[in-house]
Amino acid sequence: MNIKTHLQLEPSVTMEINASVLKKRTQGQHVYNLCAGEPMIDTPDVVKRAVMTALENNHTHYPPMAGLLELRHAASEWMNNDYGADFEVSNCAVTPGGKFGLFLLLKSLLKSGDEILTPAPYWVSYPSIAKLFGSVPVIIDTDENDDWKLDVKELEGSITKKTKILLLNNASNPTGVLYTREELKEILDVAKRHNIIVISDEVYSGLVYDGEFVSCGSFEEHRDHTFIVQSCSKQFAMTGLRVGFVFGSEEIISTVINLLGQTISGVTTISQYAALAGFKHRNDIAPLVRSEMKKRRDVFVNTFNKLFSSKISYPASALYCFIPMSAFGVEGQDSVEFCKDVLNNTNVAMVPGIAFGKEGYIRCAFGENEEELKEGLEKIKDYLETR
């Protein structure tokens, strides 16, 4: 039996590229990593000290399946105070990163044959996770000229009797788009009218540079059919510690907790203490991470616009610029081949747009330090001028 065919699972394009990057680095090559989806800055000392203290205090045993009660309280309070939600501790489960939180939510909600709507460009793992449960991803195309935003008429036209879930990414990976309160209300109204569950992936809410982030959890009239996926990874610069959250109705969160018990027996205890320290000091940590990422965003965009004749705009949020290949002066080559070509000849790693459901674009991350960003873009420019 072909296990990939059986599971309907293909490897993530981003993971394939990261593997190529790792291979080059193990060979002693310097690689400019414009594909890594994380802030490449040190985890704050207060978070690291919390890990050490947890070890010294022997907090190394099995955790509660739902997560440390104090952490669930801190996460719920954060969502309520910062984003206008109204979650109790019973509405929150701690998960090993936002990705597995999404996995558990979809497992709790979907059955074989259900359709799950998501706008493209989408985060690479959305369709693959849905397929694991025998569900059908239905992709709703969006356009750069409309700021990559989901049109409610297109949404209504994509709904069938089999539609179960709308999966929304706000703030967006890969485009950095933010939805306004009015736009979200329209989308949520459509979903409620058709009895559709909305899952809002909001893991980049802490990395908003322009405009205002609005959480789907802040709409009181829609809380009965809305779930939120969140994470400590980006906002506290602790991606490797793997702490995320899901928020929603107590009934479904209870199912998520049961799944945690039957799969991983809870999130690593010392990581939860690290996350708790992050929340206790979030008013110090989060602004510093956001400020540093904004500086790197500006350096990346300004450098690109100096080197290339086509200009790109500043993404409002997240860690990425989603760039048309034409801005690089490239025509007649698909995004996968272009990224492989650039990586093989310049050691600059990027992610092809087709991984996000949109051919003709490239995703460049600006999480690296400023010199890496500048030199990486300069190497691409030099190569394209000579090839």
Could you tell me which residue, 126 or 7, shows the higher pLDDT? 126
Same domain, 80 and 227: yes
| pLDDT at residue 9, rounded to an integer | 67
Same domain, 71 and 191: yes
| pLDDT at residue 342, rounded to an integer | 97
Report, as an integer, the average pLDDT of 342-354: 97
pLDDT at 3 over 70: no
Same domain, 128 and 270: yes
* Total domains in the fold of the chain: 2
| pLDDT at residue 6, rounded to an integer | 54
State pLDDT tens for residues 69-81: 999 999 999 999 9
- When the pLDDT of each residue in the chain is averaged and rounded to a whole number, the result is 96
CATH number of the domain where residue 12 is located: 3.90.1150.10
| pLDDT at residue 195, rounded to an integer | 98
pLDDT at 133 over 60: yes
Residue after which a domain boundary falls, among 281, 309, 339: 281
Alpha helices for the chain (secondary structure H): 3-7, 13-26, 45-56, 69-83, 98-109, 125-132, 152-158, 181-193, 250-263, 269-280, 282-307, 335-346, 370-386
| pLDDT at residue 8, rounded to an integer | 60
Same domain, 154 and 245: yes
What are the tokens at 190? Answer: 């459509």
- Distance of alpha carbon 87 from alpha carbon 220, whole angstroms: 11
State pLDDT tens for residues 154-189: 999 999 999 999 999 999 999 999 999 999 999 999
Same domain, 199 and 106: yes
Work out the number of other CB atoms within 10 angstroms of the CB of residue 173. Answer: 24
Residue after which a domain boundary falls, among 281, 303, 329: 281
pTM score of the predicted model: 0.96
Same domain, 269 and 288: no
Q: Per-residue confidence at 95, pLDDT binned at 50, 70, 90?
A: very high
Q: Are 329 and 308 in contact (CB under 8 A)?
A: yes
Radius of gyration of the chain (CA): 21
Is 54 domain-assigned?
no
Q: Are 123 and 357 in contact (CB under 8 A)?
A: no
Report, as an integer, the average pLDDT of 303-313: 97
- The secondary element (H helix, E strand) that includes residue 200 is strand 197-201
Same domain, 38 and 123: no
Cα-based distances in Å from 133 to 111, 271, 376: 7, 29, 39
CATH number of the domain where residue 235 is located: 3.40.640.10
Same domain, 75 and 39: no
State pLDDT tens for residues 77-93: 999 999 999 999 999 99
Q: Are 91 and 251 in contact (CB under 8 A)?
A: no
Q: Is the dihedral of CA 168, 172, 175, 180 positive or negative?
A: positive
Is 194 domain-assigned?
yes
Is 53 domain-assigned?
no
Q: Per-residue confidence at 4, pLDDT binned at 50, 70, 90?
A: low
- Distance of alpha carbon 125 from alpha carbon 349, whole angstroms: 19
- Distance of alpha carbon 96 from alpha carbon 331, whole angstroms: 41
Residue holding tokens 């933010």? 178
Is 134 domain-assigned?
yes
Is 52 domain-assigned?
no
Same domain, 260 and 330: no
Same domain, 39 and 140: no
Same domain, 236 and 187: yes
State pLDDT tens for residues 220-269: 999 999 999 999 999 999 999 999 999 999 999 999 999 999 999 999 99
Domain that holds residue 325: 3-43+284-386
Is 127 domain-assigned?
yes
Is 51 domain-assigned?
no
- Distance of alpha carbon 27 from alpha carbon 69, whole angstroms: 45
State pLDDT tens for residues 22-69: 899 999 999 999 998 899 999 999 999 999 999 999 999 999 999 999
Residue after which a domain boundary falls, among 281, 309, 340: 281
For residue 121, say if its preceding peptide bond is cis, omega within 30 degrees of 0: yes
Same domain, 271 and 295: no
Is 233 domain-assigned?
yes
